[in-house]
Amino acid sequence: MADVERVISFEVDGKPVSVPDSGATLLGVLRYKLGFQGPKAGCSPQGQCGCCTVLVDGQARVACVTPVKRVRNRSVTTVDGLDPDRAKQWGDAFCSTGGSQCGFCTPGIVMRLESLKNKGIAADDHDAVRQALLAHLCRCTGWQTVVEAWDAFGSERLTGRDLEAASQRAELEGGAPQVVSPEVALGRGAFSSDTVPAGALVAARDDAGVWHVAENLPGAKNAAGKTQGRRTTIEHSWPLEIPPGDWDLTLRTTWVEPAILETDASWCEPGGEPSPLIGNGGAFGAKQDSPVRQAAQDLANEHDRTVLAFGTREDTVLWGPKRPPVACGIKADGTGVIRVVACPGIEQAIKSVAPDLVVELVEVTKPETSSAIRAAGWAEATILLAGVASLANGDGSGGPPGQGDVSATSQSITAPNGATAEVVLEDGVIKVHVRCGRPLDEIVLRSYCIGAAHMAWSWLTSEALTVDADGVAQDLTIRSFGVLRAIDTPPIEVDIDIEDDREPMNGSDAVFVAVAAAGWKAASFHQDWPIGKLIPGQLFQAGISVATSD
């Protein structure tokens, strides 16, 4: 009888399974014991990203914090176990709205929405959908297209669409090869942690950067002494001081975490080439300098076996690159000083748009920074120049924070590649017009522009990472990064210039910069980012938005 009690039996995707009662989580058993790759490991495990969501007896559960013993004699359904017709409908819905870009978070979101359908939530109950999305984090889409996918479920919208052209546009926007298809939304984007051959060793790093190899990921994490991430109670700070001078505008940013959902992972066979870090999507430049691919190759050759080198969520925060913080002062004539945490290429990025700014590089041992992260350097410089231009033209508030009447605020930006974005903040809505050559696929371009607007608004208003005096990140949970939730994201309207017959070019980076610049203007050029809550078309008051009176 005792032996029977140590075995847990349940059903996965309609098939009976039995596993030892080892205290493992449901996600650990599904992925690393039974080989189900649909649920993703995004927060490793913190129960905060929703990528591992499955159905337990028809109701959504976050698998990474669910002990497997809690599903004894119950039915578990992963995204791959959905009825094929239902799965196709969800895949088509997300693809038809641009509700999935990299496709890492959407398998869990699909299961959450399937659970809402099981509960009988009305098709037009968008508030319920946004509330349900509180269990999830998506860095790519800006949430709006996910809600639109809920609306599109069951409709036929993909007929005649050129998905190859859509993939070309996604590659332009994401900066890496990408596939656009209904399968991507269902988690089949060829991520390295999903495609690793059976029987591979798994390696994880300890806090000193030493790799430890074991037969599976839980064993490697245990050998490396990995502990659960935490969120600090220490307030974030600004690492750089504003340069001395008599400035018309000043701007200071803090540390922010790229917050990519798919943590670094790469596998390699002995004598072979390591798999790409980016299975589908671009990671917005955050993975270009990762050591994981080299580690996979070195360890495979050392052990003469295929090795998957895997970074946990904590690794991604502690070792991954951040956007270089800045502290700037600028005069009305466009001259000034921008202090920036040094990293290769950052001075050139700034000078490409602001040759009259003096760049002071500040050496910081850690955290690591990278100029490859979305529009790093040129975004901040462009935003500064747009700010002083607004003051010179009399269309900025010109007053101290809290004294700007911003019932409507507009901003136009031209990116170094020639793409332009015009943004109007009005009636609680972020309105975007973008010109970036031939659209190729309007759905994908619109999705990336909405995602860029969300990322910019989040950067401006809420994102911050606490880093201590030794340069060690203290916020190690994915919820601590300040990424705007679905319920907090303003509506975003995107208008695409379909008459622009230039060669296609990235347009979402221009949108990212224009939205941040417009928001900064609407906030009366509040010096320190994040500035706090801001609603488009309302009065900003020291981090609080209040409705303007008639």
SS3 call for 75? strand
- Residues of the chain with pLDDT > 90, as a percent, come to 84
Same domain for 42 and 119? no
pLDDT digits (tens, 9 = 90+) for 255-300: 999 999 999 999 999 999 999 988 887 788 888 878 999 999 999 9
pLDDT given at position 81? 98
pLDDT band at 231 (very low <50, low <70, confident <90, very high): confident
Q: Which residue, among 72, 59, 55, 66, has the nearest Cα to 21 in the 3D structure?
A: 72
Q: Does position 23 have pLDDT exceeding 70, yes or no?
A: yes
Asked, for residue 504, whether it belongs to a domain, the answer is yes
> Quick check: is 225 in a domain?
no
Let me know whether 449 and 513 are in one domain.
yes
Whether the per-residue pLDDT at 5 is higher than 70: the answer is: no
Q: Are residues 400 and 533 in the same domain?
A: yes
Residue 108 lies in a domain: yes
The answer on 428 and 533 residing in a single domain is yes
Q: Which of 193, 217, 249 is the last residue of a domain?
A: 193
- Is residue 393 predicted with pLDDT exceeding 90? no
187 domain residue, yes or no: yes
Query: Are 71 and 145 members of one domain?
Result: no
Q: What pLDDT is stored for residue 6 in this prediction?
A: 87
Residue 311 falls inside a structural domain: no
- For residue 350, pLDDT over 60 is answered with yes
104 and 29 inside one domain? no
Residue 312 · residue 204 · CB < 8 Å: yes
CATH classification of the domain holding 174? 1.10.150.120
Q: Cα 299 vs. chain centroid, distance in angstroms?
A: 29
pLDDT of residue 93: 96
Identify the domain boundary among 54, 81, 108.
81
Alpha-carbon distance of 370 to 158, in angstroms, equals 38
Q: Are 77 and 100 members of one domain?
A: no
Residue 69 lies in a domain: yes
Q: What pLDDT is attached to residue 547?
A: 41
Per-residue pLDDT at 3 exceeds 60: no
**Measured distance CA(225)–CA(299) in Å, rounded:** 19
The CATH number given to whatever domain includes residue 36 is 3.10.20.30
Looking at the structure, do residues 184 and 52 belong to the same domain, yes or no? no
Using CA atoms, how far residue 428 sits from 247, 397, 513, 516, in Å, is: 31, 18, 19, 15
Range of 511's domain?
A: 390-545
pLDDT greater than 90 at residue 45: no
Question: Is the pTM value of this prediction over 0.75?
Answer: yes
**Which residue, of 49, 81, 113, is where some domain finishes?**
81
Whether residue 538 sits in one domain with residue 421: yes
Give the count of domains, the chain: 3
Separation between Cα atoms, residue 344 and residue 357, nearest integer Å: 18
User: Per the domain annotation, does 263 fall within a domain?
Assistant: no
* Same domain, residue pair 19 and 163: no
Q: With 50 as the cut, is the pLDDT of residue 320 above it?
A: yes
CATH code at position 538? 3.30.365.10
56-92: pLDDT as tens digits: 999 999 999 999 999 999 999 999 999 999 999 999 9
Whether 340 is in a domain gets the answer no
My answer on whether 97 and 44 are in the same domain is: no
| Sign of the CA dihedral running 110, 112, 118, 123 | negative
In this prediction, residue 10 carries a pLDDT of 98
CA distances from residue 190 to 77, 184, 268, 274, 492 in whole angstroms, order as listed: 21, 9, 15, 14, 30
User: Which tokens sit at 164?
Assistant: 């190859």
- Same domain (yes/no): 41, 89: no
What does the pLDDT read at residue 398?
A: 38
